[in-house]
Amino acid sequence: MDGPKAVQAFGEALPLWSTVPFAGMLLSIALGPLFAPRFWHGHFGKISAFWAAASVVSLSIIFGQQAAAGFLSVLVNEYLPFIILMGTLYVISGGILITGSLSGTPGSNTALLLAGALLANIMGTTGAAMLLVRPLIRANAHRKNRTIVMIFFIFLVANIGGALTPLGDPPLLLGFLVGVPFFGTLRLYPHMLLATSFLLMVYYLADRHIYKVESSNPEGEKAMRTGVANGRPFRVRGAQNLIFLAVAIGAMIAGAKAHLGRIYFPGGQKEISEVLRDLIVFLMSLFSMLLTPRDIRDENGFTWFPIKEVAIIFAGLFIAMMPCLAILQAGTRGHLGCLVHAVRSPARYFWATGALSSFLDNAPAYLAFFKTALGNFYPGMETRSAAMLLVRQHPAYLEAISAGSVFFGAFTYIGNAPNFMVRSISEESGVEMPGFTGFMMKYSLPVLLPLFVLETFIFFR
């Protein structure tokens, strides 16, 4: 037995307990930074390795070569391309330095938020957030109440802005790597247009009110005048990285369209064009490191820790989630058939994917419900073939999964990797940021929840 039949048989045979390491990994990511931050940051590599090993060892003992081949295929075809691109975007964005500042008025902040949201589709939400977070903080240094601008920065630049391309947000990149066309995510432009317009309007009206209150006393008025007078236009250093970025994007697009044959390895296969794509993308990160003056990265506060953390944690995630995704891909004949049967409409996919994205992480949430949809419509079919059929025959379901994972990633600090990074940098710079519960109660629930209801009513009924 081989090919799709083997995939389906493996997914049908996997017991439900094989998803325990994946659940443990997700809970560790969600709860570790909140309740044991010092322990988590000191030992997250060991925790990731533990859950990955638990999955590999237990399933290899029972299923032998079939399980080993599944784990190897996931690492070669999904994890390596994912971390190569994420690392390259991180390195390139860290080599671009924006100096100077805007005046920190509601209008200029709104313009910067819009620019960041659009830029996120090219540099990724992590890249755009890391590029603009410090200039935005500097632009508002003279203001007393800066929390709201950083909250909406998380909403727009670190999450919702990255909805249009696979480069924008990790969930969409994973979709691209398993068969969704590169430009398929452009179908989300009306969803993103509504969300971005809504959030920019709410932000501008709220911040304009705050700005007026701050300017209503002599001391505040003096600070505002000083801030506006000291505002300087942006200047960009390290612009050569834009060339490296363009080449990396071109390689991603070309690698998806070119067909140069395949390389076979135990348990799987890989397109030669995809190997060349990953090599070119990786080379762009090397060129960026070699050709960017070190002082630019120093001024940007560039360190390897964030991407190192992502690489280690996602290695554990990809390994631990393999059995879960195989079960989902088996459709109603797998041990999660009740979930596949229950999630039937686009609206349910939107909210189910969103709920998981909010409190765990949006990348595995996307894959879980993407595989659920494939198992629902095309049980047992090879992933790439099924993905193409889903795009052509049931696009509303893919749009719901994509929008749910990207949009709901903004709902909590743990919904998407850049959220915590922006919070940490903001607090280090003296910006008062709400805690986990305060973020939800003061901002996510009153602002994002009505937006998501509106999105459902308009697009996913």
Q: What is the pLDDT of residues 158-184, one digit of tens each?
A: 999 999 998 888 889 888 888 888 888
pLDDT in tens, 113-147: 999 999 999 888 888 888 888 889 888 988 888 99
Burial class (CB in 10 A: 0-12, 13-18, 19+), 1: exposed
pLDDT in tens, 390-422: 999 999 999 999 999 999 999 988 788 788 778
Average pLDDT, the chain: 85
More confident residue, 97 or 11: 97
State how many domains the chain has: 1
Confidence category of residue 151, pLDDT binned at 50, 70, 90:
very high
Name the residue range of residue 414's domain: 3-459
- pLDDT at position 5: 55
Answer whether residue 301 shows pLDDT above 80.
no
Residue 73: Cβ within 10 Å count: 18
Answer whether residue 8 shows pLDDT above 80.
no
Answer whether residue 1 shows pLDDT above 50.
no
pLDDT in tens, 182-197: 888 899 999 999 999 9
- Triad 449, 134, 90: Cα angle to 5°: 85
For residues 398 and 243, give the distance between their C-alpha atoms in angstroms, rounded to a whole number.
32
